A and B are shown apart, each in its own frame.
Chain A
Amino acid sequence: MSVLSSPFAKKPNTVTQLMLWVVLATLPGVFALVFFFGVGVIVNLFIACSTALITESIILKLRQRPVAPILWDGSAFVTAWLLALALPPLLPWWMTVLGTSFAIVFAKHVYGGLGNNIFNPAMVGYVLLLISFPLEMTTWLPPQELAAHPVGVVETVGIIFSGQGSNTATIDMLKQGVDGYTMATPLDHIKTQLAQGYRLPEAETAPIIKGLSGVGWQWVNLGFLVGGLVLMFKKVIGWQIPIGVLLGMGLISLPLFFANSDEYLFPMFHGFAGATMLGAFFIATDPVTASTTPKGRWIFGLGIGAITVLIRTFGGYPDAIAFAVLLMNMAVPMIDYYTKPRTYGHARNAKESS
């Protein structure tokens, strides 16, 4: 006779529900992305998610695990979903497939599957692609309102799958199509300009830097912020990590900005540029790879924020959330060890003996 163990009370959440919430909460950001950067975003989501589900099924079969229940936990889907949101909208399809399957196979299952991986799988996939295909990975479409040649659905699909749009527009032609502006993201643009000796106010005169952090990007970030806050209030994610990330960014970027505003970006720009909000609320909060103690979550978040700004400012990559997350992932075991909360009835400063 199988006898269950207490507690018997109905439990409030399931992993599947949490994952579903995460996906739902990205929707405002997804809409903004699609609005500004076209349907390529959706195509990417589709490619990445189907790749993830197929890869996960194959691996589970190979590992002789039950396929359906584990697929149903939604974790592979969410990994792919978040990865796709970080990819450029017109990335060739096979790169998306490569990045996603690499994330599922190497970042997740090689470690033993859900719960055992050390590194955030989506970010592992992202970094693989970024290192292997730096050009493609930093080539963004211009926001639709700036594009001389808005890209339609058919062209998007054509470019992604064959590098060739229906209007015989290739990605290279598109690149030329925008009045002399590169297709870089605002962060990328500023990085290049600064490297070429321009001062920040000059770099910021470019049309794509309109508003808080560049055309489109501020809305995309706002979208992810709104969704992230919903997750926070629904208690799907803790608040320490996302707040920590934003705070960590502020702590580094604010003094820099005050020291030299000709060279260092305004903190708000960091907050609403690139993958900041997506990273802070959806990526850094991946529970499996984040620190798990209350104090550790703070340190983890602050670390990601700080490292992101440092890499963006002094490093070689324009956006750096992925690197920051992976670096902090490495520090998690140590953070967790030293931030063990004080157990009821134990002395305040008690460290575990030995």
Chain B
Amino acid sequence: MEATRANDTGQTVGGSLMERSNFASEIPIFEIPGGVHPEEHKTRSNQADIRTLSLPDELIINIKGQAGNRSIPVVEVGDTVLKGQMIAECDGIFSSYQHAPTSGTIVAIEDRTIAHPSGLSDQCIIIQPDGKDKWCQLTPVRDFDQLSREEMLATIFESGIVGLGGASFPAHIKLKRESGIHTLIINAAECEPYITCDDRLLREHSREVLKGAEVISKLYSDIDIVVGIEDNKPSAIDALVSARKELGFSNIKIAVVPTKYPSGGEKQLIQIITGKEVPHGKLPADLGLVMHNVGTCFAIYETFYLGKPLIQRLVTLTGDACKEPGNYWVPFGTPVSHIINQTHAESPKRIIMGGPMMGYELPSTEVGIVKATNCIIMSAEGELGFDNPTLPCIRCGACMDACPASLLPQQLYWHAQADEFDKAEEYDLFDCIECGACAYVCPSHIPLVQYYRYAKSSIKNNRIEKTKAEKARQRHEARQERLERVKREKAERHRKAAEARKKAAQKAGKKDEKKAAVQAALERVKAKKKAQENKDDNKPATGEEK
């Protein structure tokens, strides 16, 4: 089977220089709509072995360095910590624990610029390394067969493991659902140009990655494992095959998918491997699927086999300005300026965190890397970006042809730029995965994704405003209601009093109308008197009635 030609359904436009694997996919694969073939630039960083950087003078650990809530610091300024020691605990399950990436002293807990395109500041724990890099007590749980499902999930949670594919979503949440899961997909379809950390990790640590996948598979009773990998990583595929053989994991299948961006997107890879789409508003788990990135599998391996929490990750350091491109183990919190120094980058023009398709430009180099950081591109003049002016949309539809979600990016753009957010939503704005394929092909160079992000955040803000307004309205209505009720009750009392008088009049059995009128007048006067005597607030009004 290995000898046959790879299932070649995709073109390789613009990537002809890259090696392609001849390994035949072991399961049938499907096509996705759209997609683009940007120049790959992968050989720049995937040639060298994984290396480590020297420790910086300080680590800037952003406590909101993952998806979900901020972590809560559990250390104080002046504390000394050991490598691997917990320094911030989670705030609810949609959050993550954080651990000291090295031994040293907590020198500050303060706001620092964080890795975000806006250049915002947020709370960070600053550790000054002592240079000893001394681990705390590690407790591996190798016989995880003995652990209950809950204990295994807790281990993953407490090790601070989040998805390392780029979204940094807490890993245990994806693993919560137990029943109905039949396939674990290992995402090795690293489709962003430039990024090679998964590729390199597989080449050097395939066994560990597969062992990590096996740990995940223990969470389920009967599960298939499929590794989805793009055909531009022949060495990684070879490494996987031999690791699988060595470990005797015959239940693992390798799905070789054509190189095309964004094949590595979760929804896209699911479509390629299963032919199914994750229904709108549903999760992969609803299809019986759970997907984890190779880096996450490796982290799970380290946690279970070595007892190590997640304190560092493999980061691709690359770009034309970077003099020693490659993949490095980078402790969380390492300042980007230190990375630039250590790789002898020469006056980089732009620093991109993440890949060129979905990453963002860092406004400052004094930010610490976070769990989501898979790549730092130190670009040289003219390497990335372009000075082409933005022209009007000519409705050429190139964006639509490139969109993997089958959206109409030109319509989304039209409505987003006109602030017609409800129309944008009608065109399924929230199904946009922000892959940037549309903006990549746009001949008018419209920063489409920027408009979608703007529209999405405006809609979300509007919703928040709306719920706020709604609450205020409800409060207001409740108050009105209360006042109304008081008024109604008052009126009711008056009505009853009037009725009582009428009855009394009838009882008196007056035949003569005049007499009756006189009688009524007398009654009124009487009542008035009585009212004055009682000093009842309501009485005067009653007296005037009729």
| Binding partners A and B | yes
Chain B residues, Cβ within 8 Å of A340 = 408, 427
Known: A3-B117, A4-B385. Contact between A9 and B38, CB under 8 A?
yes
Chain B residues, Cβ within 8 Å of A343 = 280, 405-407, 428, 431
Is B193 within 8 A of A9, CB to CB?
yes
Rounded to whole angstroms, the CA-CA distance of A17 and B359 in the bound complex is 27
Is B406 within 8 A of A8, CB to CB?
no
A250 at the interface (CB under 8 A from B): no
Rounded to whole angstroms, the CA-CA distance of A176 and B314 in the bound complex is 84
Most buried by A among B271, B361, B377: B361
Rounded to whole angstroms, the CA-CA distance of A354 and B427 in the bound complex is 12
Q: How far is the CB of B224 from chain A (nearest CB, A)?
A: 23
Give how many B residues have a beta carbon under 8 Å from the other chain's beta carbons. 65
Kindly count the residue-residue contacts between A and B in the assembled complex, taking CB atoms under 8 Å apart. 157
Closest chain A residue to B422, Cβ basis: A354
Closest chain A residue to B442, Cβ basis: A11
Is A115 within 8 A of B408, CB to CB?
no
Which of B278, B279, B401, B443 is within 8 Å of A14, CB to CB?
Answer: B443
Chain A 279-338 residues near chain B, CB threshold 8 A:
287-288, 290, 292-294, 297, 336
Residue-by-residue, is B355-399 near A (CB-CB < 8 Å gives 1, otherwise 0)?
A: 011111101000000000000010100001110110111111110
Is A114 within 8 A of B394, CB to CB?
yes
Rounded to whole angstroms, the CA-CA distance of A37 and B391 in the bound complex is 37
Chain B residues, Cβ within 8 Å of A293 = 397, 400, 408
A345 at the interface (CB under 8 A from B): yes
Is B396 within 8 A of A287, CB to CB?
yes
Chain B residues, Cβ within 8 Å of A70 = 391
Which of B385, B393, B407 is within 8 Å of A8, CB to CB?
Answer: B385
Chain A residues, Cβ within 8 Å of B408 = 292-293, 340-341
Rounded to whole angstroms, the CA-CA distance of A300 and B356 in the bound complex is 36
Rounded to whole angstroms, the CA-CA distance of A336 and B415 in the bound complex is 14
Residue-by-residue, is B337-355 near A (CB-CB < 8 Å gives 1, otherwise 0)?
A: 0000000000000101010
Rounded to whole angstroms, the CA-CA distance of A345 and B284 in the bound complex is 11
Rounded to whole angstroms, the CA-CA distance of A329 and B210 in the bound complex is 57
Q: How far is the CB of B194 from chain A (nearest CB, A)?
A: 9
Residue-by-residue, is B57-88 near A (CB-CB < 8 Å gives 1, otherwise 0)?
A: 00000000000000000000000000000000
A263 at the interface (CB under 8 A from B): no
A234 at the interface (CB under 8 A from B): no
Closest chain B residue to A289, Cβ basis: B395
Which of A9, A14, A294 is within 8 Å of B384, CB to CB?
Answer: A9
B441 at the interface (CB under 8 A from A): yes
Is A341 within 8 A of B406, CB to CB?
yes
Chain A residues, Cβ within 8 Å of B397 = 238, 287, 292-293, 297
Closest chain B residue to A352, Cβ basis: B426
Residue-by-residue, is A1-31 near B (CB-CB < 8 Å gives 1, otherwise 0)?
A: 1011111111111110110000000000000
Q: How far is the CB of A121 from chain B (nearest CB, A)?
A: 12
B267 at the interface (CB under 8 A from A): yes
Is A9 within 8 A of B392, CB to CB?
no
Chain B residues, Cβ within 8 Å of A213 = none
Q: How far is the CB of A32 from chain B (nearest CB, A)?
A: 27
Known: A69-B389, A343-B407, A343-B428. Contact between A14 and B445, CB under 8 A?
yes
A344 at the interface (CB under 8 A from B): yes
Is A6 within 8 A of B350, CB to CB?
no
Q: How far is the CB of B175 from chain A (nearest CB, A)?
A: 22
Known: A6-B436, A292-B408, A345-B277. Contact between A11 and B117, CB under 8 A?
no
Rounded to whole angstroms, the CA-CA distance of A4 and B389 in the bound complex is 13
Q: How far is the CB of B375 from chain A (nearest CB, A)?
A: 12
B39 at the interface (CB under 8 A from A): yes
Residue-by-residue, is B401-442 near A (CB-CB < 8 Å gives 1, otherwise 0)?
A: 100111110110000000000000011100100001101111
Is A11 within 8 A of B445, CB to CB?
yes
B447 at the interface (CB under 8 A from A): yes
A214 at the interface (CB under 8 A from B): no
Rounded to whole angstroms, the CA-CA distance of A293 and B427 in the bound complex is 12
Rounded to whole angstroms, the CA-CA distance of A292 and B409 in the bound complex is 10
Is B443 within 8 A of A4, CB to CB?
no
Known: A113-B392, A292-B410. Contact between A7 and B267, CB under 8 A?
no
Is A344 within 8 A of B392, CB to CB?
no
Which of A5, A14, A69 is within 8 Å of B447, CB to CB?
Answer: A5
Which of A15, A238, A297, A344 is within 8 Å of B404, CB to CB?
Answer: A344
B450 at the interface (CB under 8 A from A): yes
Closest chain B residue to A286, Cβ basis: B394
Rounded to whole angstroms, the CA-CA distance of A3 and B395 in the bound complex is 26
Q: How far is the CB of B261 from chain A (nearest CB, A)?
A: 9
Chain A residues, Cβ within 8 Å of B405 = 343-345
Is A345 within 8 A of B357, CB to CB?
no
Chain A 247-297 residues near chain B, CB threshold 8 A:
287-288, 290, 292-294, 297
Most buried by B among A7, A69, A116, A292: A7
Rounded to whole angstroms, the CA-CA distance of A12 and B39 in the bound complex is 10
Rounded to whole angstroms, the CA-CA distance of A238 and B33 in the bound complex is 16
Is B267 within 8 A of A345, CB to CB?
yes
Closest chain B residue to A2, Cβ basis: B361
B29 at the interface (CB under 8 A from A): no
Is B394 within 8 A of A288, CB to CB?
yes
A136 at the interface (CB under 8 A from B): no
Is B361 within 8 A of A4, CB to CB?
yes
Is A290 within 8 A of B392, CB to CB?
no
Is A115 within 8 A of B431, CB to CB?
no
Is B407 within 8 A of A4, CB to CB?
no
Which of B278, B350, B354, B398 is within 8 Å of A345, CB to CB?
Answer: B278
Is B280 within 8 A of A294, CB to CB?
no
B24 at the interface (CB under 8 A from A): no
A100 at the interface (CB under 8 A from B): no
Q: List 17 interface pairs A-B (beta carbons < 8 Å), by A numbering.
A: A5-B449, A6-B356, A6-B439, A7-B356, A8-B357, A11-B386, A11-B443, A13-B398, A13-B441, A18-B396, A292-B408, A293-B400, A340-B427, A341-B400, A343-B406, A344-B406, A346-B428
A-B CB proximity, top 4 nearest: A115-B392, A7-B436, A287-B396, A8-B384
Interface residues of A (CB under 8 A from B): 1, 3-15, 17-18, 69-70, 73, 75, 113-116, 238, 287-288, 290, 292-294, 297, 336, 340-347, 352, 354
Known: A7-B358, A343-B406. 7 other contacts (CB 8 A): A5-B117, A7-B38, A8-B377, A11-B386, A12-B441, A13-B398, A346-B428
Interface residues of B (CB under 8 A from A): 14, 33, 38-39, 117, 119, 193, 267, 271, 277-282, 350, 352, 354, 356-361, 363, 377, 379, 384-386, 388-389, 391-398, 400-401, 404-408, 410-411, 426-428, 431, 436-437, 439-445, 447, 449-450
